[in-house]
Structure 1
């Protein structure tokens, strides 16, 4: 997974108990999880302070590459909602950072999209 090259698509809600332990270990006191999602293997966790992206590698997924993207580095973000007749995977969040890169996340359902967008808004506005 390289967030600079391709979006994380078809994100499905993940139970907190299923978040990889290395990502959970990064949480700070007072930081809470807004939403956790997964692709087939990879995970993305939106907290009250940042985005944690986990790239599961290897056959068993025990090797992990973790990216931490703090909301304080977000310049702006955009959302695209699904329209009538659009495929299920039509809601998208694009987050643009101060260093010029952007991360894209495709959600199944708009409710998840707005929950994450509200969390980011609380931190950058």
Structure 2
């Protein structure tokens, strides 16, 4: 893990308290973070209520897109793991009533995608 993994697109788990502070303006006062993964500059955050995808844009990352998916609105998701020639893993998330995925996340040779998929399954299916 570390800088090289981040540059290659691998997700690394990050400290929940650090993310809680960083997302203080986005999260509800009683909302708790269950899991948080950093993907280069972006974040994938599982709270007790929703999935939050933080997409830092531009050269400086000053512009930030926050996407919030309440677990009850996620109708399905798919995970495509890496192969021998295709090294990218992919997670797609659909919301109720949508024909196309609302969010697609790509991972390069990443073992965290299985942990992320499992966390999403627990949150959506419970």
TM-score, normalised by the number of residues in structure 2: 0.67
Distance 1:24 1:88 in 2: 35
Structure 2, unpaired ranges of 5+: 1-7
In the comparison of the two structures, how many residue pairs are matched? Answer: 114
Matched residue, 1:53: 53
* Alpha-carbon distance in 1 for matches of 2:86, 2:73: 32
> Residues 110 and 63 from structure 1, CA distance in 2 versus in 1: closer, same or farther, beyond 3 angstroms?
closer
Q: TM-score, normalised by structure 1?
A: 0.67
Q: Alignment RMSD, CA only?
A: 3.0
- Residue 38 (structure 1) aligned with residue 39 (structure 2): yes
> RCO (CA 8 Å, sep 6+): is it higher in 1 or 2?
1
1:95 to 78, 84, 93: 93
Looking at structure 2, the residues matched to 21 and 56 of structure 1 have their Cα atoms a distance apart, in angstroms, of 17
Uncovered stretches (5+) of structure 1, i.e. residues with no partner:
1-8
Query: For residues 53-110 of structure 1, what are the alpha-carbon distances to aligned partners after superposition, in whole Å with 9 as ceiling and x for unaligned?
Result: 2232455333323121112111111111122x23432x21111111414111122345
